[in-house]
């Protein structure tokens, strides 16, 4: 007898509980018990079990079980899936083209062209001889151990996804900084995106898009990595000294002039810190996105896990560490330059 039978009897709900409800699909425990010719009975170890859906269902068949609730959530998503796909497919198709095009350019270009371009770009943004030498050593090492192609694929994906995060994230952060109502509306969404486990991003996307489409992992990476640049853009603009804003108003500057001539330059150190964090989160998600056909070093890590190839997994992991250090050092050197320019002015 279920613990809560007496409760429903006392409330006069026994007739309703035993009415029209039909027993739902058997649980795995019930199926195994039936196969063994046993009667599946749940042993109550607690004196007063918590009134969860399963415990209440045991006393009243009209109350749905947890399995039925999760099934309802699944059916709700599947019922709107076609409509969502009809809207999202054309909107996100350019992302697939961008990823495919960038991957083609990065992988088709010869190494003797790509590596010097990357070194020049590193020097341009960092003006650091040590960082540039480290980037050169890392890429020549990855090429020496035949991991250059996978590393350059990972870099191409990060390049596209980080660029889109900055393109969309900075305007959203600016809008939040200018409107408290918008900030209050967007903050819960950012909290959700920041706390949602990375694997959970892939679940609805797998149902919406084919695993062969690059936009599947592209959307997951962007949603996972865009939060820091939005938050720190909002914070940076809100931290601009009010006296400076008042001086700009006294000079008769328009809103656009204040934004691009005063607020964004002063907030640039915070914005660059957000970009740094976005790059790191993009790299972390690229590895997980290998589960849904994202190319690069994550594929080798996944191969090492699946086939228990310890060496393959560890060497690919070392390559990811080198990429992470390259991106972190280059972006931090760029941030230091921005801070130095900011201090001199």
In the chain, list all ranges with CATH 1.10.3720.10.
81-344
Rounded to two decimals, what is the model's pTM? 0.85
Encoded tokens for 51:
């009134």
Is the per-residue pLDDT at 28 higher than 60?
no
- Binned at pLDDT 50, 70 and 90, residue 304 comes out as very high
Encoded tokens for 234:
């909002």
Q: Which 3 state secondary structure label does DSSP give 51?
A: coil
Comparing 340 with 71, the larger pLDDT belongs to: 71
Is the per-residue pLDDT at 107 higher than 90?
yes
CA 87 from centroid of its chain's CA atoms = 21
Q: What end-to-end distance do the CA atoms of the chain give, in Å?
A: 78
The pLDDT score that the predictor gives to residue 314 is 94
- Residues 270-298: tens digit of each pLDDT: 998 999 999 999 998 988 898 888 899 99
Taking residues 256-266, report their average pLDDT.
89
Scanning the structure block, which residue is given the tokens 């099934």? 71
Q: Which of 191, 187, 162 lies closest to 175 in space, CA to CA?
A: 187
Please report, for the chain, how many H helices and E strands are present, in that order: 17, 0
Cα torsion through 179, 180, 181, 186, rounded to 10? 90
The pLDDT score that the predictor gives to residue 97 is 95
Taking residues 299-307, report their average pLDDT.
91
Question: CA angle, 294 as apex, 172 and 143 as ends, to 5°?
Answer: 110
C-alpha 303/C-alpha 226 separation (Å) is: 28
The pLDDT score that the predictor gives to residue 72 is 86
C-alpha 256/C-alpha 69 separation (Å) is: 50
53-62, 112-121, 166-175, 279-288: lowest mean pLDDT where?
53-62
- Residues 204-216: tens digit of each pLDDT: 888 888 888 899 9
The pLDDT score that the predictor gives to residue 343 is 66
Taking residues 159-171, report their average pLDDT.
95
Is the per-residue pLDDT at 20 higher than 60?
no
* C-alpha distances out from residue 241 to 179, 183, 254, 304, Å: 17, 20, 17, 52
CATH of domain 81-344: 1.10.3720.10
Is the per-residue pLDDT at 94 higher than 70?
yes
- Residues 185-233: tens digit of each pLDDT: 999 999 999 898 888 888 888 888 888 889 999 999 999 999 999 999 9
Is the per-residue pLDDT at 29 higher than 80?
no
Angle of helix 310-344 relative to helix 297-306, nearest 10 degrees? 150
The pLDDT score that the predictor gives to residue 16 is 79
Comparing 27 with 55, the larger pLDDT belongs to: 55
Encoded tokens for 259:
């934004």
C-alpha 274/C-alpha 271 separation (Å) is: 5
Q: Which 3 state secondary structure label does DSSP give 48?
A: coil
Taking residues 8-31, report their average pLDDT.
68
């Amino acid at each position: 007898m279920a613990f809560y039978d007496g409760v429903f009897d006392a409330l006069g709900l026994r007739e309703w509980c035993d009415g029209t409800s039909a027993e739902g699909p058997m649980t795995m425990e019930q199926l195994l018990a039936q196969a063994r010719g046993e009667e599946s009975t749940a042993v109550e170890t607690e004196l007063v079990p918590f009134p969860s859906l399963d415990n209440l269902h045991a006393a009243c068949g009209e109350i749905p079980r947890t399995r039925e609730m999760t099934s309802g959530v699944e059916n709700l998503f599947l019922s709107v899936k076609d409509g969502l796909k009809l809207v999202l497919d054309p909107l996100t198709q350019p992302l697939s083209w961008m990823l495919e095009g960038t991957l083609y350019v990065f992988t088709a270009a010869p190494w003797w062209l790509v590596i010097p371009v990357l070194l020049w770009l590193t020097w341009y943004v960092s003006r650091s001889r040590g960082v540039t030498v480290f980037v050169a050593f890392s890429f020549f090492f990855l090429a020496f151990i035949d991991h250059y192609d996978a590393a350059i694929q990972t870099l191409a994906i990060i390049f596209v996804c980080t660029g889109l995060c900055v393109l969309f994230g900075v305007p959203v952060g600016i809008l939040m900084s200018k409107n408290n109502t918008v900030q209050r509306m967007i903050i819960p969404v950012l909290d959700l995106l920041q706390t949602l486990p990375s694997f959970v991003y892939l679940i609805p996307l797998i149902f919406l898009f084919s695993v062969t489409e690059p936009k599947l992992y592209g959307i997951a990476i962007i949603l996972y990595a865009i939060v820091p640049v939005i938050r720190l853009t909002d914070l940076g603009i809100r931290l601009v000294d009010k006296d400076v804003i008042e001086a700009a108003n006294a000079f008769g500057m328009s809103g656009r002039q204040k934004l691009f001539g005063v607020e964004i330059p002063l907030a640039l150190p915070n914005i660059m810190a957000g970009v740094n964090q976005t790059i790191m989160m993009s790299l972390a998600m690229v590895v997980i996105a290998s589960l849904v056909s994202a190319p690069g070093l994550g594929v080798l890590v996944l191969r090492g896990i699946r086939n228990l190839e310890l060496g393959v997994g560890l060497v690919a992991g070392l390559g990811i560490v080198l990429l992470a250090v390259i991106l972190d050092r280059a972006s931090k050197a760029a941030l230091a330059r921005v801070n130095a320019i900011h201090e001199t002015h």
